[in-house]
Amino acid sequence: MQAEPKKSQAGNSSAAASEASVSLVGAEYEVEVGPVAHGGHCIARTAEGQVLFVRHTLPGEKVIARVTEGEEGARFLRADAVTVVEASKDRVEAPCPYAGPGRCGGCDWQHAKPGAQRRLKGEVIAEQLKRLAGLTPEEAGWDGTVMPAEGDKLPSGEVPQWRTRVQYAVDVDGNAGLRRHRSHEVEPIEHCMIAAPGVSELGIEERDWSGMASIEAIAATGSQDRQVILAPKPGARLPIVELDKPVSVMRVEEHDGGIHRVHGRPFVRERADGRTYRVGSGGFWQVHPKAAETLMLAVMQGLTPRKGDTALDLYCGVGLFAGALADRVGDKGAVLGIESGKRAVEDARHNLASFDRVRIEQGKVESILPRTGITEADLIVLDPPRAGAGKQTVRHLVGLGARRIAYVACDPAALARDLGYFREGGYKVRTLRAFDLFPMTHHVECVAILEPAAKGA
């Protein structure tokens, strides 16, 4: 994949004359685009062999790539495809007017057909599994597909309205918008196409937000609850919030970063598995309307809980998986959840108060789990943050001898690294399922079910 430079703009002459590296920002190269890479870009190379991570392109295309970050001698450069010389058959006109080089950074694949987006995500998962865990899709019990959520399989040009939580930034003129890619700059918008109807109907983009640094809009799917969380700039006063629908208002405090109620409920109500969950301000709940139910079912189908089982729900949030487990293990079973967020723990205890044999502990998993004195468990669910669980936690988990472990992952690289650690500890992947719960972006959700390698398939 060699390429000839089309134009070179290599920083200023004083930098070139000194020992400082020469910036290549603005340089353009005509390149043949190679495979997709983790992070929403594809790989290409300059004629000199320097790696380019190129956004707004697709594998197999020939494009003019303009460097957005990097310098001579760097291990790689970041770039945008500003001109498509030869297009992929999977390319479409981006439905969103704010998508494209230098514009909104919220979506990565607006220019790809929906089916192509899922194939690209599948290729990323397969590459990460092979490189970091030494697993082929067959060895991971995965058929290589990334499944769309219910209702998301739409024709090209139609965009799923799935984002129930949108974090708006505010520009110097008080306009609400979204951040540009790898930038603090704000792209003002009139409407986000992937925002859920419950967010769009608030009319955030139509208001003047002068004095605010950001606004988070939340539209629960398990109820009609709507909430905005305002983060004022230092010294700014909170505005009177008058939106198009009833909404509760929260404020991010400048001195401690805490979130405090201004008016309305300090939580929203969500539904999954026939149960209502209270989710406090700043608490975690899956963003896609179908995600909580989809992932809960995948986990329960993979674990096949039995009456009387003991189970762990690690990084348990407000108790989604703990609640599903408690329903299935019955009165003679027991569930322990561990969560670091204080407010999430309060919510989880409230949500699961009807279960006598459910306990929720607050703290980091790697600190709390060893202190519990638990030496064995039948089932384990872990849904760690993007960085993954890590070697120390995985080593502890394999020592508990669980019959099955469900690993829910929003990052294929972290998942693959941890699966490698589980493999070293004597666990194999029984099945892996992938779900496209973040359409138009590079993000993807996976559920891996593990069991002791000595056990027959």
Structure tokens that stand for 365 in this block:
């998993």
Question: Among residues 251, 210, 191, 207, which one has the least CA distance to residue 227?
Answer: 251
Question: Is 104 known to be catalytic?
Answer: no
Packing angle, helices 320-329 and 291-303, rounded to 10: 40
Q: How far apart are CA 98 and CA 121, in angstroms?
A: 22
Give φ, ψ of 100 to 5 degrees: 130, 170
Residue type, 36: V
Burial class (CB in 10 A: 0-12, 13-18, 19+), 282: middle
Catalytic residue among 42, 192, 316, 410: 410
Q: How far apart are CA 295 and CA 298, in angstroms?
A: 5
Residue type, 51: V
Structure tokens that stand for 224 in this block:
């009609």
Residues 237, 240, 244, 249, CA torsion sign: positive
Question: Among residues 120, 145, 126, 137, which one has the least CA distance to residue 41?
Answer: 120
The residue written with tokens 């599903």 in the block is: 324
Question: Among residues 425, 432, 374, which one has the least CA distance to residue 407?
Answer: 432
* Residue pair 137/126 in contact by the 8 Å Cβ criterion: yes
**Could you tell me how many residues make up the chain?**
457
Reduced to 3 states, what is the DSSP secondary structure of residue 61? coil
The beta-carbon contacts of 88-97 under 8 Å, at least 24 apart in sequence, are 88/58, 88/59, 88/60, 88/61, 88/116, 90/58, 90/115, 90/116, 91/58, 91/61, 92/156, 92/157, 93/157, 95/157, 95/158, 95/159, 95/193, 96/159, 96/193, 96/194, 96/440
The beta-carbon contacts of 209-214 under 8 Å, at least 24 apart in sequence, are 209/168, 209/170, 209/174, 209/175, 209/176, 209/239, 210/170, 210/173, 210/174, 210/239, 211/174, 211/236, 211/237, 211/239, 212/170, 212/174, 212/236, 212/239, 213/169, 213/170, 214/167, 214/168, 214/169, 214/170
Reduced to 3 states, what is the DSSP secondary structure of residue 105? coil
* Residue pair 92/114 in contact by the 8 Å Cβ criterion: no
- For the annotated catalytic residues, the residue numbers are 410
